[in-house]
Amino acid sequence: MKDSELLTSVSKTSTDSEFFSPMPPGYKPGKTKYLFVMGTVMSGLGKGIFSSCLAKLMQDKGLKIAPIKLEGYLNIDSGTLNPFRHGEVFVLDDGMECDMDLGTYERMLDQDLSKANFCTSGQIFNDVLNKERHGDYLGRDVQMIPHVTGEVKLRLRNLAMKTNADIVFVEIGGTVGDLENAYFIEAMRELAYEEGPNSACFVALTYILEPQTLGEQKSKAAQLGIKQLMQLGVQPDIIACRATHAVTETVRQKISVYSNVPFERVISLHDSASIYTIPAMLRDKGLDFEVARLLKIEDRLNLRHERKSWAQWCDFTDRIDAAQKPVTIAITGKYTSVRDSYASIINSLEHAGIALGAKVDIKWIETTGISDTNVAQHLADVDGIIVPGGFGTRGAEGKICCVKHARENNFPYLGICFGFQMAVIEFARNVCGLAGANSTEIEKDCENPVIDYLPEQLKIEGLGGNMRLGGFDIELKPDTFAWQLFAKAHTVRMRFRHRYEVAPRYIETLEKAGLVFSGKAPGQPIMQILELPQHPYFVGTQAHPCLTSRPLRPQPMFVGLVAAAMQKHYPKNDSPDCVTAVRNLCS
């Protein structure tokens, strides 16, 4: 019996053999290749950026790529994580709330991911305990090895089967040495052993210190981190050295000697002005072909496909340096001290700016201290305003002041989720004259709750149970600005993450006063896009349009905002109007 047949035959039991490695029906070990990315020394090195950039290079060669992020925390998903601690919560089309790295993968690979692409320790332990309760382990004492590691391997193999991927890119969150990551790394070691030779590639992302007092790069911390990985039974095939400046040849030689990794596979991954130039950095070092050789998949490469894809990408990156017209967009929120809280918005502005030849500078404004008396001072030097999403009461009144200033002074405005709700409240108070208009999230017993739970939502109990999550279609109203912005489409799909809506009983009052709801949920009184027709650009959406912006396909609402900001900053310039700018890009 072959080793692969042995593994399959014992995958359904763990009583008679220590070879416990569950596999999906029809799975063939060795067919799908695996590339594992792990970090050493410190977290926050950009494992997701590196992994997604390398994945893009392999995708350009005609290979089918499936990324997955493994997170050590016990949460089932990222939905309850504070942005101050973990950056933004990225929402997938199927409603999975996940790590912001999934957004990086979606943008780089230009593909929609699903809950199969994100896994936490909470999910793994939950599945193991459910199987134990159902007797799936045939009376065996359930252990970290082989059962928990077996569940991790099953997740990866299920993803391989579901996507028919050539390579599954596996990113392990945190660093080597984190207690919660130990079983993930052990599972990867086992998987590489079981899949057979040339089926797996291990990449260690490390950090090269550059103390200012010494004036030279030091590699000892990197050496110790890699040694720790090797002590766990993992021999890295590639080492990527993160640093502020290009890593010297001497440092790379030291790491090569101490890690048994060939010198040409110890690469410098120093700081770059834009993450979108990193694929070229990796390509110049030949890392993509090194991976192909290590995994023995040269015969699967489509170089004709690569030439076409790479030409399109280079055309995009060439425009980064060509962007000469600076405009300033204010992001007025309450998580502004942690930029990762708004990662998707930052990327969406960059996509739109590059497409229009603009260099978008962001001014961060913490709204907690904003009032009617100082809002003009804070927004005096900006060309456009974004009020982003958020939960809770802190900073809400400051956001309303920013909305009012944008509406009354013709500032281009984009309200996202909470920003959409704040626009409704501001309009209700100051145009409709509805005293005490507010959201019941902010003031439970307010006089005019223009933002509230819908009646059917009140029946759903539990935190998160009444959340509108994931991708939904929005029905666009003909002959509106939004309808034109989306090329006169009947519907457009966007992603949502919110609990509160415009209260239906106030819709008629708001519309009579001039507010236009140009997008709503099909067949339901759920308002999802608003606009002010006489304003240069005043748009809000209950959705998060930033979650679907891509480098080569910038999101229309952000293109419109940046185009309007350019018109404001350069009034005598021949900048196209918002709709024309979007139409030109789409064509």
Q: Are residues 332 and 308 in the same domain?
A: no
Question: CA end-to-end span of the chain, whole Å?
Answer: 58
Single out the residue in 269, 294, 315 at which a domain terminates. 315
Average pLDDT (209-215) is 87
Answer whether residue 474 shows pLDDT above 80.
Answer: yes
Residue 237 forms part of a structural domain: yes
Q: Total structural domains in the chain?
A: 2
pLDDT digits (tens, 9 = 90+) for 294-309: 999 999 999 999 999 9
Q: What is the CATH number of the domain that holds 302?
A: 3.40.50.300
Mean pLDDT of the chain: 90
Confidence of residue 457 (pLDDT cuts 50, 70, 90): low
Task: Check residue 576 and give its pLDDT.
Answer: 67
Q: Are residues 92 and 135 in the same domain?
A: yes
**Which strand ranges, in their side-by-side order, compose the sheet holding 516-520?**
358-366, 325-333, 384-387, 413-416, 538-541, 527-531, 516-520, 468-476, 491-498
Single out the residue in 297, 315, 333 at which a domain terminates. 315
pLDDT digits (tens, 9 = 90+) for 544-561: 999 999 999 999 999 999
DSSP string, 202-222: EEEEEE-B--TTTTS-B-HHH
Nearest to 79 by CA among 546, 464, 394: 464
Distance CA 140, CA 133 (A): 12
Distance CA 330, CA 366 (A): 10
Answer whether residue 384 shows pLDDT above 60.
Answer: yes
Give the CA angle between residues 433, 502, 335 to the nearest 5°.
Answer: 95
Confidence of residue 463 (pLDDT cuts 50, 70, 90): very low
Distance CA 46, CA 39 (A): 9
Q: Are residues 301 and 344 in the same domain?
A: no
Answer whether residue 454 shows pLDDT above 60.
Answer: yes
Q: Are residues 302 and 337 in the same domain?
A: no
pTM, two decimal places: 0.92
% pLDDT > 90, the chain:
76
Answer whether residue 467 shows pLDDT above 80.
Answer: no
210 class by beta-carbon count within 10 Å (0-12 exposed, 13-18 middle, 19+ buried): middle
Answer whether residue 61 shows pLDDT above 50.
Answer: yes
Q: Are residues 302 and 386 in the same domain?
A: no
Report long-range pairs for 472-475 (Cβ below 8 Å, ≥24 apart): 472/496, 472/521, 472/543, 473/521, 473/522, 474/519, 474/520, 474/521, 474/528, 474/529, 474/543, 475/519, 475/520, 475/521, 475/522
pLDDT digits (tens, 9 = 90+) for 215-269: 899 999 999 999 999 999 999 999 999 999 999 999 999 999 999 999 999 999 9
Average pLDDT (363-387) is 92
Single out the residue in 266, 292, 315 at which a domain terminates. 315
Instruction: Count the alpha carbons within 13 Å of 467 in the hemisphere toward its beta carbon.
Output: 19
Nearest to 287 by CA among 205, 223, 208: 205
Average pLDDT (91-98) is 96
> What amino acid occupies position 300?
R
Answer whether residue 362 shows pLDDT above 90.
Answer: yes
The SS3 of residue 94 is: coil
76 class by beta-carbon count within 10 Å (0-12 exposed, 13-18 middle, 19+ buried): middle
Answer whether residue 341 shows pLDDT above 60.
Answer: yes
Residue 4 forms part of a structural domain: no
The SS3 of residue 585 is: helix
Average pLDDT (506-513) is 96
Residue 497 forms part of a structural domain: yes
Distance CA 182, CA 192 (A): 16
Residue 42 forms part of a structural domain: yes
Place of tokens 């993160």: 242
Q: Are residues 467 and 359 in the same domain?
A: yes
Distance CA 260, CA 338 (A): 38
Confidence of residue 464 (pLDDT cuts 50, 70, 90): very low
Distance CA 241, CA 180 (A): 24
Average pLDDT (408-422) is 96
Task: Check residue 10 and give its pLDDT.
Answer: 42
Q: Are residues 63 and 161 in the same domain?
A: yes
Task: Check residue 468 and give its pLDDT.
Answer: 84
Task: Check residue 584 and give its pLDDT.
Answer: 75
Q: Are residues 399 and 499 in the same domain?
A: yes
Residue 551 forms part of a structural domain: yes
> What amino acid occupies position 556?
P
Average pLDDT (424-444) is 94
127 class by beta-carbon count within 10 Å (0-12 exposed, 13-18 middle, 19+ buried): middle
Answer whether residue 71 shows pLDDT above 50.
Answer: yes
Answer whether residue 338 shows pLDDT above 70.
Answer: no
% pLDDT > 70, the chain:
93
Distance CA 99, CA 90 (A): 6
Distance CA 159, CA 153 (A): 10
Q: What is the CATH number of the domain that holds 527?
A: 3.40.50.880
Residue 402 forms part of a structural domain: yes
Phi, psi (deg, nearest 5) at residue 385: -135, 135
Distance CA 478, CA 472 (A): 19
DSSP string, 39-72: E-S-S-S-HHHHHHHHHHHHHHTT--EEEEEEE-
Q: Are residues 511 and 559 in the same domain?
A: yes
Task: Check residue 84 and give its pLDDT.
Answer: 67
Q: Are residues 333 and 288 in the same domain?
A: no
Residue-number span of the structural domain to which 158 is assigned: 32-315
Confidence of residue 202 (pLDDT cuts 50, 70, 90): very high
Q: What is the DSSP letter of 462?
A: S
Distance CA 48, CA 278 (A): 12
Answer whether residue 2 shows pLDDT above 90.
Answer: no
Instruction: Quickly count: other Cβ atoms within 10 Å of residue 197's Cβ.
Output: 9
Residue 213 forms part of a structural domain: yes
Strand pairing class (200-207; 33-39): parallel
- Rounded to a whole number of angstroms, the CA Rg of the chain reads 26
Confidence of residue 69 (pLDDT cuts 50, 70, 90): very high
Average pLDDT (331-343) is 79
DSSP string, 396-451: HHHHHHHHHHHHHTT--EEEETHHHHHHHHHHHHHTS--TTEEETTT-TT-SEEEE
Task: Check residue 16 and give its pLDDT.
Answer: 66
Confidence of residue 393 (pLDDT cuts 50, 70, 90): confident
Residue 21 forms part of a structural domain: no
Instruction: Quickly count: other Cβ atoms within 10 Å of residue 212's Cβ.
Output: 5
Distance CA 472, CA 495 (A): 6
Average pLDDT (113-141) is 93
The 3-state DSSP composition of the chain as helix, strand, coil percent (nearest 5) reads 45, 20, 35
Q: Are residues 180 and 257 in the same domain?
A: yes
Q: Are residues 341 and 299 in the same domain?
A: no
